[in-house]
Structure 1
Amino acid sequence: MLYKGGCHCGKVAFEVQGELGMAVRCNCSICARKGALLWAVPHEKLNLVAWGDDLGRYTFGKAQIAHRFCRTCGIHPFAEHVGESGERTAYVNINCLDDVDIASIEVFEFDGRSA
């Protein structure tokens, strides 16, 4: 299924292809503050439609994940990760997807504080 989404102001927009069956709620220091519900997809399934100079990048700690955000409205629509073997993953914040019933999505609690 094709999902469309983006930030609040619309300057960052994307499409993502896949079957949304479950999301992850991570309790690490940044995810807990953002309140994100993350859907992991192969990076090639994420297509940026609009971003320009508005897409910011934030990393911390071991800098393994690039947390992406809109420089205008501050919303964090997705994050990016490159694994040890080079595989790229996108973590889409499903709160930023259009027309998704968040209450119907199963949520897995991930202990990112201990990872």
Structure 2
Amino acid sequence: MARIIPSAAIAAVLALLHPLPAHAAGFDGPWTVLIITEAGNCDQGYSFPIQISGGRVLSTGSANITGSVGRGGAVTVRVSQGGSSASGNGRLGATSGFGRWSGKGSAGTCSGRWQATRS
């Protein structure tokens, strides 16, 4: 019995860390993400089209964007373009979302917030 309890606890933690596909919560489809710089010398804003399919965030524009969305809308992303890269996290709702990001590029280290809208 003592061996079953730790295994069950580990399985429960792993289930929480590995979210269910986003399509169960209705996040699949095209989105537009606006990235706003609040600190650092990066451009003040960027806009990227993305596609969410089966819980995976995919780029549809020139930037390489990868990430995942959990059943409850928790999202993690990584964006790279040229020599710059950033990572972010936040939450999506039915038609919009928001979060924070930070990254590095030729302008140095930058950070800020992002907002998303369903296209």
Q: What is the TM-score of this pair, normalised by structure 2? A: 0.28
Bigger radius of gyration among the two: 2
Which structure's residues are more often strand, by fraction?
2
Q: What is the TM-score of this pair, normalised by structure 1? A: 0.29
